[in-house]
């Protein structure tokens, strides 16, 4: 396994799609701001612009980070972290990477646009400690 920390950023094609969606939402939000004088429509326009910009920002900020002892799930709204010792294995279920918890239950990782099997293999190797070398004296 490559050196830690291992970071899974959102794939480029998903970032491009988010930018295109943002452009459409901003244009849809600007139209009521410019063409309509009703306060309710102007509020909807501002809301559409905010949703578009927030969505694209979240896409560019979101990532999964595997460090030596924890997995970090980072997005615009929150940062969740879980110790490596909480998990015993990883699998792909319905296109999503799922981590089996030792205490029971599953943690479903957010999609990054990368091949789920490749992400699963890397995360499973991280859980089991495969590829780690002991420090030399």
Q: What is the pLDDT of residue 91?
A: 94
Radius of gyration of the chain (CA): 20
pTM over 0.75: yes
Is pLDDT at 7 greater than 70 in this prediction? yes
List of E strands, the chain = 6-9, 63-66, 70-74, 79-83, 87-93, 96-101, 106-108
Average pLDDT of the residues of the chain: 90
What tokens does 62 get?
A: 């979101």
pLDDT in tens, 62-117: 999 999 899 999 999 999 999 999 999 999 999 999 999 999 999 999 999 999 99
List strands edge to edge, sheet with 79-83.
6-9, 63-66, 70-74, 79-83
Q: What is the pLDDT of residue 106?
A: 95
């Amino acid at each position: 396994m490559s050196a830690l920390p291992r970071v899974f950023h959102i794939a480029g094609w998903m970032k491009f799609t988010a930018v295109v969606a943002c452009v459409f939402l901003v244009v849809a939000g600007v139209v009521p701001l410019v063409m309509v004088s009703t306060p309710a429509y102007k509020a909807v326009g501002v809301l559409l612009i905010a949703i578009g910009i927030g969505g694209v920002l979240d896409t560019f900020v979101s990532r999964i980070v595997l460090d030596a002892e924890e997995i970090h799930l980072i997005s615009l709204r929150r940062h969740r972290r879980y110790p490596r010792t909480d998990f015993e294995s990883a699998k792909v279920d319905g296109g999503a990477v799922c981590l089996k918890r030792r205490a029971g239950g599953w943690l479903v990782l957010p999609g990054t646009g990368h091949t789920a099997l490749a992400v699963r293999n890397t995360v499973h190797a991280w859980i089991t400690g495969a590829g780690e070398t002991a420090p030399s004296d």
